[in-house]
Chain A
């Protein structure tokens, strides 16, 4: 089975306090720690497990600048067989549809049986997987938390729905699935693993290579544009308890007693 996994380099939410920059045009870029989007790690892990069971290969692809290469390499250290970087100045500022159309061009160059994306990324949009499927005219399922390969034409898929219930489907290949966290436990990447892939060549495909006209993607082709970033003020917010730890605890215990939190 030939599997393609789409991965995005994002500021790591567990390593950063995201702040808006001075003029509100973007998030504060200094000192941000980047990593692979959390959901994409689960997708790569799942692809590796499928390959190990039924054979074939796993290719990891990212649309981004040269720094995105580091996340492609990391996922190769996890066990993906190949990595591809889709990179071109013309891709900068793409909206979700732009990213999906760049990925579509790559998919059409090769023969993949299965494409995995993360359910969502840092922008919280949850859009690229579903758009990619629609552009390819392939079946799609989002929030997938179970995959079983039935044969080389059919798979069984579970989708996570409200309340932790699961919707089960049979789907024909090729298809696109967006992966939900918790489907597996992604393996750690060892230093040795990273060293092993450090010198591997990662091919870079540009707009020209992919046959994409530059004005259809990037900022030029984007229908949706971010105007500014800001921190919302919702209601009054919490009353923040201050003082020494002892004072805070005294205060908190009184509140807990009053609200029935301590009996």
Chain B
């Protein structure tokens, strides 16, 4: 292919994000011969420790070092990347809250193709890349064909490519700061103020062994009672998907997912939850997952161990009653 491949590295507290290794795997699947350059922005010693860490598995590392990048924001970073990226380069970025902020605009500014939220690559033919994406929160997948011969920005779904442990060794760290910042930093129109930490709620679902988790399939706030009754019968806690929090039926601290909590229970009951990747992304430590959903094609059945196709509004009260009978017997 002959196009240079770049991976944008997210990091925190001097440590590279898990997606760093996943992007190498993704780059390898994109083009097996590609030499992959990591691009890392940050400041001072924290940046240096990420660069050293990442150099042990990338061929080359480009760093942009400036105090204004101690907390990297997409708006400040984008024009810097535009200055250092070569024509026709291919840039891989994790499809998370940072990638969604950075990448669409970057593709416009470097006049490259844009492929969002890719879960797999199936080869390049004649400058055209075949990739796999999902639509309708994972209910269907699609093959897309994109002309990447003039360059591309591709966001890669976290967790879709298995982190590549192969260490290729001696990545050279190249300081690109001067080139990136040559005509100054653009901080004017967009000023970072602070991070407001998520509030701690009445229950800490990250510590629960049994989670009875409810999604939009519960349909009505009045039905929430049955979820609490089942959780009580099972001696578990109630968690939920995002729409339940958006509707203010439960507090944010009970939300499982990428923008909520990461949980590691032993048993996870997904009730009326479709299984969007942002939700399932909050499940760690391979719990035993039981999904109840009236749609046999719901993506949650792909990640569940046991599935029941049915109406939770009928099923839950019966299940609760039977568990309670069992316990009093």
Contact = CB atoms under 8 A, between A and B. Distances in A.
A9 B192 CA distance: 34
A52 interface: no
B108 A232 contact: no
B140 A20 contact: yes
B242 A182 contact: yes
A230 B100 contact: no
A96 B255 CA distance: 30
Interface stretch (B25-33, B47-55, B170-178, B318-326): B318-326
B114 A142 contact: no
A255 B135 contact: no
Interface stretch (A56-64, A68-76, A205-213, A219-227): A219-227
A202 interface: no
A159 B73 CA distance: 11
B101 A140 contact: yes
Contacts, number: 261
B8 to A, nearest CB: 15
A65 interface: no
Contacts of A168: 192-196
A240 interface: yes
B113 A140 contact: no
B234 A165 contact: no
A224 B101 contact: no
Contacts of B304: 237-238
Contact of A238 (B144, B243, B306, B326): B306
Interface string B229-270: 000001110000011011110001101001111100011010
Nearest to A166: B196
- Which size class do A's interface residues fall under? 35 or more
B117 A124 contact: yes
Contact of A130 (B105, B130, B318): B105
The interface centre, meaning the residue of B248, B252, B306 with most chain A CB atoms within 10 A of its CB, is: B306
Greatest chain A CB density within 10 A among B116, B216, B247 is at B116
A123 B258 CA distance: 19
A124 B314 CA distance: 32
A224 B253 CA distance: 39
Nearest to B139: A18
B59 interface: no
B295 to A, nearest CB: 5
A161 B99 CA distance: 11
A224 B113 contact: yes
Given A175-B189, A259-B288, A223 B113 contact: yes
Contacts of A227: 130, 142-145
B67 to A, nearest CB: 18
Contacts of B105: 130-131, 133-134, 140
A166 B146 contact: no
B267 to A, nearest CB: 4
A141 interface: yes
Main secondary structure on chain A at its contact with chain B?
mixed
Given A19-B297, A228-B142, A97 B114 contact: yes
A181 B104 contact: no
A122 interface: yes
Interface string B118-138: 000000000000101111110
Contacts of B243: 181
Contacts of A162: 96-97, 258-259
Contact of A141 (B190, B195, B234, B252): B190
Which 10 A-B pairs rank lowest in CB-CB distance, beginning with the nearest? Answer: A130-B104, A238-B307, A164-B198, A134-B105, A134-B108, A261-B267, A238-B304, A182-B246, A168-B193, A18-B139
Given A224-B115, A253-B323, 18 more contacts: A11-B136, A20-B140, A27-B136, A126-B95, A140-B101, A158-B196, A162-B96, A168-B194, A170-B190, A224-B114, A231-B297, A237-B301, A238-B289, A238-B307, A252-B319, A256-B323, A261-B290, A262-B327
Interface of B: 73-75, 95-98, 100-101, 103-109, 113-117, 130, 132-137, 139-147, 188-198, 209-210, 216, 234-236, 242-243, 245-248, 252-253, 255, 258-262, 266-267, 269, 274, 288-291, 295-297, 301-310, 314-315, 318-319, 322-323, 326-327
Interface of A: 11, 13-14, 17-20, 27, 96-97, 100, 119, 122-131, 133-135, 139-143, 156, 158-172, 175, 178, 181-182, 185, 223-232, 234-235, 237-241, 245, 248-249, 252-253, 255-256, 259-263
20 contacts: A17-B295, A18-B297, A96-B104, A97-B108, A143-B97, A165-B198, A167-B192, A167-B195, A182-B245, A224-B115, A224-B144, A225-B146, A226-B142, A238-B301, A238-B303, A238-B307, A259-B266, A260-B266, A260-B267, A262-B235
